[in-house]
Amino acid sequence: MFTRFESHFHLDYPSGGIPDSESMEPAGDPELFALQSQFAGMSFNNGLYRVMDREIMPLAGSFIETAFPTFSHRARPFAYDWLGRIFALDSGRFECESRAVTMFEPGTGEALEIPCDLLNFHESELVDYGEAALALSFYERWLASGGAVPSRDQCVGYKRPLFIGGKDEAANLEISDLDVYWSLSGQLLQKIRNLSPGTGLTP
């Protein structure tokens, strides 16, 4: 089912996780079931992209619930990238009669709608538009500058998030614990969205 994805995204060793049947939802969503059956907990292309396992999913769900509460009951996280950006199926949008993909960005505070379903996201979007989907050249600059490959429970996060004036450059990046980064980013975004217009925020 994910033949093009497998031909372009090479499994990292060790994979960083083990597929777990408890994270799967076979009923009504065969593509998600197939993705998790094959790849749950696995990392690809030197930490560029990871499919979630059942331990990571609740952390991602908590971030979405805090930072993007309108999506809390409609987003099902399934993967994340090196920047800690979360990819989720969105039951509020459909493509090809299947739930569409939304990307939640902890560094920018944005939820970006991706115009494809789960299968096309892996077979087309990630393969043909990897630069836009995964910030590939930015990751290469990070690695070239001496940055480390994030482990399963890490991401490369912004020292100062872009939504409070941070710069979108490698010098503003650092290895972060995934849970801590999502938690702090979610709290900051929640605080910002609860402020009255014109009110400043002390980082």
pLDDT tier for residue 196 given thresholds of 50, 70 and 90: low
* Domain range summary for the chain, segments of one domain joined by +: 3-193
Of 48 and 17, which is predicted with more confidence? 48
What's the CA dihedral at 196, 169, 158, 165 to 10 degrees?
A: -20
At 13 the pLDDT is 72
Global pTM value: 0.91
pLDDT tier for residue 170 given thresholds of 50, 70 and 90: very high
At 14 the pLDDT is 56
Short-list 49, 52, 57, 55, CA closest to 11 = 49
At 175 the pLDDT is 98
CA distance 160 to 4: 36
Q: What is the mean pLDDT of residues 167-189?
A: 97
At 64 the pLDDT is 97
Q: Is the per-residue pLDDT at 139 higher than 70?
A: yes
At 20 the pLDDT is 52
pLDDT tier for residue 142 given thresholds of 50, 70 and 90: very high
Share of the chain above pLDDT 70, in %: 88
The whole-chain average pLDDT of the chain stands at: 90
CB proximity list for 94: less than 8 A, separation 6 or greater = 100, 117
pLDDT tier for residue 203 given thresholds of 50, 70 and 90: very low
> How are strands ordered across the β-sheet holding 75-81?
43-44, 49-51, 75-81, 86-95, 98-105, 110-117
